[in-house]
Amino acid sequence: MNRNRKDIIIESLTGISVLLIIFIIISILAITIKGGWPNLSWKFLVEFPKDGMTKGGIFPAIVGTALMTLIMAVAAVPFGVITAIYLAEYARENSVFAKTIRFAVKTLAVVPSIIFGLFGLGFFIGFIGQNMDKIFNGGVMKWGQPSILWASLTMALLTLPVVIVSVEEAIRTIPVEMREASLALGATKWQTIRRVVLPGSVTGILTGTILAISRGAGEVAPILFTGAAYYLADLPHSLSDQFMSLGYHIYIMSTQSANVDATLPIQFATTLVLLLLTFSLNAVAVVLRYRIRKKAK
């Protein structure tokens, strides 16, 4: 076989795989839009589910997802930013401690999400929550059970690597000349970080936050045992309440409902909402990241 033939074969193989991927994406979109779009309406977004989830809307699932990702971001972003600052600014590249953190972050990023769910159940609920009840609540069960707080914190662990990686990348794009200018003026290292490095990394912090939210909004496994509810007649009012979530709602309707076929239109519409939400969040993150990279050049 001569070189040319080989090239042609490889080219066609890569071409076919690309087409296949595009075909799959378009099929997913086409199926969800076709099934979901006719059922999408303002009412669908602002109403509670009715008649065993075969009618009505998904309002509590939207609110629950929003609240959960918000609490998650409040926990994951500051923690992630601080870790990224440490890795980019303070850690010596070859120190054992820095290497350990990097290894931990990488490992965290590949742990299957169901493991986070189990960890959240064991650590947050079983250990922290139950001990909180013993110490502050006289043994009355309040924190030692699934709730939006524990689900959000579990999800925060899952999305932490996303935040750390984005923020560290952004911090590293701040040119050394900017840091030198600040230090030469008599700024301390921390003043330089706070007044020059972090303001220059805002887009990166934002990107990390959005990616984390979009990841957290779609995941189901971590909240399965830690706070998501099958059905609630009311929205969560406190951190110790359970909540409904979009992803879990789809899972419930497609596997646990008494009449799966009757919930199909709602399943499609909910999937469409979730897809639109994560796609648009990701699109914003892509644009922001593109801007950072362009600036770095």
* Site stretch for another protein (CB under 8 A), options 78-86, 180-188, 222-230, 233-241: 180-188
Interaction of residue 132 with another protein, rule CB under 8 A: no
Using CB under 8 A, pick the residue from 41, 107, 188, 280 that binds another protein.
188
Could you say which residues in the range 54-113 bind another protein, by CB under 8 A? 92
Interaction of residue 182 with another protein, rule CB under 8 A: yes
Q: What is the greatest pairwise CA distance in the chain?
A: 80
3-state secondary structure 174-204: CCHHHHHHHHHCCCCHHHHHHHHHHHHCHHH
Contact predicate 72/216, CB 8 Å: yes
Nearer to another protein, 92 or 294 (CB): 92
What's the sign of the alpha-carbon dihedral 101, 107, 112, 115? negative
Using CB under 8 A, pick the residue from 91, 118, 187, 276 that binds another protein.
187
Shortest distance in whole angstroms from residue 92 CB to another protein: 8
Size of the site for another protein (CB under 8 A): 18
Helix intervals (H) in 37-112: 42-46, 59-85, 96-110
Question: Mask of contacts with another protein, 237-256, x by CB under 8 A?
Answer: --------------------
Nearer to another protein, 115 or 181 (CB): 181
Shortest distance in whole angstroms from residue 178 CB to another protein: 6
Alpha-carbon distance of 147 to 129, in angstroms, equals: 10
Interaction of residue 258 with another protein, rule CB under 8 A: no
- Bridge partners (DSSP) of residue 224 are none
* Site stretch for another protein (CB under 8 A), options 42-50, 71-79, 123-131, 188-196: 188-196
Helix (H, G, I), strand (E, B) or coil at 228: strand
The total number of residues shown for the chain amounts to 297
Contact predicate 269/40, CB 8 Å: yes
Interaction of residue 183 with another protein, rule CB under 8 A: yes
Shortest distance in whole angstroms from residue 272 CB to another protein: 40
Nearer to another protein, 195 or 291 (CB): 195
Interaction of residue 191 with another protein, rule CB under 8 A: yes
CA–chain centroid gap for 221, Å, is 12
CA–chain centroid gap for 97, Å, is 27
Contact predicate 205/242, CB 8 Å: no
Nearer to another protein, 177 or 261 (CB): 177
Interaction of residue 236 with another protein, rule CB under 8 A: no
Contact predicate 266/231, CB 8 Å: no
* Site stretch for another protein (CB under 8 A), options 126-134, 176-184, 253-261, 276-284: 176-184
What are the backbone angles phi and psi of residue 60, rounded to the nearest 5°? -65, -30
Q: Which residues bind another protein (CB under 8 A)?
A: 92, 175, 177-178, 180-188, 191, 195-196, 199-200
